[in-house]
Structure 1
Amino acid sequence: MKGIFAVALGVLTAIGGFVDIGDLVTNSVVGSRFGLTLAWVVVVGVIGICVFAQMSGRVAAVSGRATFEIIRERLGARAALANLSASFLINLLTLTAEVGGIALALQLASSIEPALWFPVAAIAVWLVIWRVKFSILENVTGLLGLSLVIFAVAVFFLHPDWSALASQVALQPSPHTDEQPATYWYYAVALFGAAMTPYEVFFFSSGAIEEKWKTKDLAQSRLNVLVGFPLGAILSLAIAACAAIVLLPKGIAVNSLFETALPIAQAFGKIGLIIVILGFVAATFGAALEVTLSSGYTLAQFFGWPWGKFRRPASASRFHAVMILSLVIGLGILFTGVDPVQVTEISVVFSAIALPLTYLPILVVANDPKYMGKRVNGRVTNFFALMYLAIILVASIAAIPLMIITGAGA
């Protein structure tokens, strides 16, 4: 039993990071428009986030230092402040999307307008962060999020044309005939950004400090990474496959979580719908917890404030104040009337833009004997890490032009 809960941090990071509102929406949109022709991006993304998280977890376990503590020391205050500003703004945008995602999931369950759920969702996130222990937070939310496995089961119950699905994956790495190449590549960047969202790594490395990982825990860190993120990738591919099977042939556009849930309703009826709504709430709520904590982690680590759920709120007051303020700002954005789905789609693209700012410093530190001693990256890790640095830079540079050319994928 202890071994099962040892991977809880990885499962929570996967459910609340790899499969958050960004993945629920983006994978469903992609499946409904391109089928599985972009499945390769999910595979590329999961390998990338495994490399990134493995380095970050190892740096945290060996050095005892979290991401932004090291970034400030390694880059200097000015360069690190620019990094912090961009990362924090992306966090705010993502938090807005996740709170909106909780509201959309609760709307699906109750038929009550999302605007009425916004404050409920934000207050619930704050209460859990304030009162619930980190270990309980990661175990309960991560395990409830596993109800999204219903998408993988539904792929079989929908009785698809397996040869047609396989041909999309294996033989057609190109746009659907009705889509423009630029739109295809725009959604490739969006999927990549959804898979490698920076807050996942902020949360994972800070969670390692919360759980007091040391060098002896490196095996557990690798287990978290190698179980959690591939699980998230499988669920992401299953969501896209369900949309490709049900929505694509009928030309149904994804404008809300209702369309994302349609394949489950078709496969399993009301019981399936109840299970998938539970998964939506758990995934979006888990992601909102992660992003809120990451907002506090980034600022507190940069400025050297006391932080962490292992401290009483009174002992880390600025850490908690940042999280409350982040939730208030996210609520303010949502109450302007902005569509949470549009915020989600934009946030994943901007995540790809900001990714080099955190990836490169971690890569540098992971190769620095001053911090890592004998635990620096090996040759194989560095090969993949440098390859992904190139991919990340290309995606970051291409994101804005593609967004402009395609009208954000319209």
Structure 2
Amino acid sequence: MKRVFAVALGILTAIGGFVDIGDLVTNAQVGARFGLSLVWVVLMGVLGICVFAEMSGRVAAVSGRATFDLVRERLGPRVGLLNLGASMLITFLTFVAEIGGVALSLQLVSSVHVLLIVPLVGLLVWLVLWRARFSLMENVLGLLGLALVVFAVAVWQLGPDWGALVHQAVTADKPADERWRTYAYYAVALFGAAMTPYEVFFFSSGGVEEHWGPEDLRTMRANVFIGFPLGGILSVAVAASAWLVLGPLEIGVDTLGQVALPVAAALGKVGLAVAIVGFVAATFGAACETGLSVGYSIAQYFGAQWGKYVRPPEAAVFHAILLLATLAATAFLMTAVDPIVVTEVSVVFSAVALPLTYFPILVVANDPDYMGEHGNGRLANALGMVYLVVIGVAAVAAIPLMIWTRMGQ
């Protein structure tokens, strides 16, 4: 029974953690303009994050060590530092976007200016990172994140032509008034949003903190191969609802409030309230995960003691990094930068950093010195190599497409 609850709670956590501010905004933007014609990118992203999260979780369970600890040892300090620098830039930008996303979500139910909410959110995030129990943080926020199911309910309530939606998804054709370069830009952005680096760093480090062993591999795989796809379904629901309500009116998505408009149109104030609960839970949960990922990765690379379960005096560097990262993210937002713009930039640059993030994981997962009999099989390696090619193409195309399309305009 304990194992059943572990699987169930892990699945709920994966759903709440997968759909963060990047997925909410990007899927709504894509849905409003392209409908379901880019669903194939979401499917690719879900499969990709499943492939590498499973590798990362298996490495943690078998070796008892986290990603950056092994990357530095296996590939050397120079490659490890390059990996750390690129991935931490993206993770920090994502951290900024998630804190901003929480503030924007709370602004939807208040008349308070977002800049007055940001410091409070930063303080709450740091307090959770410092004091809250790891399991409580994941499970409560994961459960509340399930409120985002309201987007799927909204799609059903809107009564769409299901055949037309399926045809749009299968044909993967752009609307006549859109350009192919813009279509390609949003394809890269969706892919980057689905495969943000912090997810695998947090997953593997969390596994070490939870003392996973080889006997936990089945539970870990259930969490990955059920939880992430369910999160992907919610992403598709966000896009579909945006297409059904915003698409015909040619309304773009520039604010978090516009992401929630389809739910309000379909389900009224009650639906909107549920959606906002989902926004707060998903973005707050992702803020905690990204903040921890910053602390985990830097401390692991430099060989410092780390972990939420380790008392602050014994892991002073780790907890100092959490505090400094939270202060820096809050200060960045206090410059009045738009969190939505930060989100858009972070998902594109996430695509750029993906090769540096996922290639080392593939290398370590194949190393018999660390993995023994639990190394990658043929299927995992085949999928890993295919995705490295896809990731490489996305990384090369991301910046030129962002410049060429002026960020999708």
User: 2:87 corresponds to which residue?
Assistant: 87
Query: Would you say the 8 A contact 1:21–1:283 is kept in 2?
Result: yes
- Structure 2 CA distance, aligned partners of 1:139 and 1:129? 14
Gapped runs of 5+ residues in structure 2?
none
1:139-177 Cα deviation digits (max 9, x unpaired): 101011001011111111011122221221112x13221
Name 1:309's counterpart in structure 2. Answer: 308
TM-score by length of 1: 0.98
Matches within 5 A, 1:385-400: 385-400=384-399
Residue 374 of structure 2: aligned partner: 375
On the 8 A contact 2:21/2:97 being kept in 1, the answer is yes
- Alignment of 1:289 with 2:260, yes or no, is no
Instruction: Return 5+ residue gaps in structure 1 as ranges.
Output: none
Query: Residues 267-305 of structure 1, C-alpha deviation per residue, up to 9 Å, x if partnerless?
Result: 111111111100000000000000000000000100111
Matched, 1:262 2:261: yes
Question: Is residue 13–residue 204 contact of structure 1 (8 Å, CA) maintained in 2?
Answer: no
Q: Distance in 1 between matches of 2:322 and 2:178?
A: 41
The CA distance in 2 between the partners of 1:278 and 1:260, in whole Å, is 13
Q: Show the counterpart of 1:140.
A: 140
Q: Percent identity?
A: 60
Structure 2 counterpart of 1:351? 350
Matched residues in 2 for 1:107 and 1:70: separation?
A: 42
State the one-letter code of the partner of 1:298. S
Q: Give the C-alpha shift of residue 10 in structure 1.
A: 4.7
Deviations 1:204-248 (A, max 9, x none): 000100110001110011011012101110000000000011000
- Correspondences of 1:4-403 after superposition (within 5 Å): 4-16=5-17, 18-171=18-171, 173-403=172-402
CA distance in 1, matches of 2:109, 2:313: 36
Question: SS of 2:109's equivalent?
Answer: helix
Cα deviations by residue, 1:345-373 (Å, 9 ceiling, x for unpaired)? 11011111111112001101111111100
Q: What is the alpha-carbon distance in structure 2 between the residues aligned to residue 62 and residue 275 of structure 1?
A: 40
Look up the SS of the partner of 1:110 in the other structure.
coil
Does the Cα contact within 8 Å between 1:9 and 1:204 map onto a contact in 2?
A: no
Deviations 1:29-56 (A, max 9, x none): 0000101100110001000000000000
Instruction: Read off the aligned partner of 1:355 and give its amino acid letter.
Output: L
Distance 2:8 2:375 in 1: 23
SS in 1 for 2:247: helix
* Counterpart Cα distance in 1 of 2:9 and 2:190: 24
CA RMSD of aligned residues (A): 1.1
Amino acid at match of 1:143: L
- The total of aligned residue pairs comes to 408
User: 2:121 and 2:298 mapped to 1: Cα distance?
Assistant: 23
- State TM-score, norm by structure 2: 0.98
Shift of 1:324: 1.1
Aligned to 1:311, what secondary structure does the other structure show? coil
AA aligned opposite 1:310: Y
CA distance in 2, matches of 1:4, 1:267: 34
Q: Distance in 2 between matches of 1:397 and 1:374?
A: 35
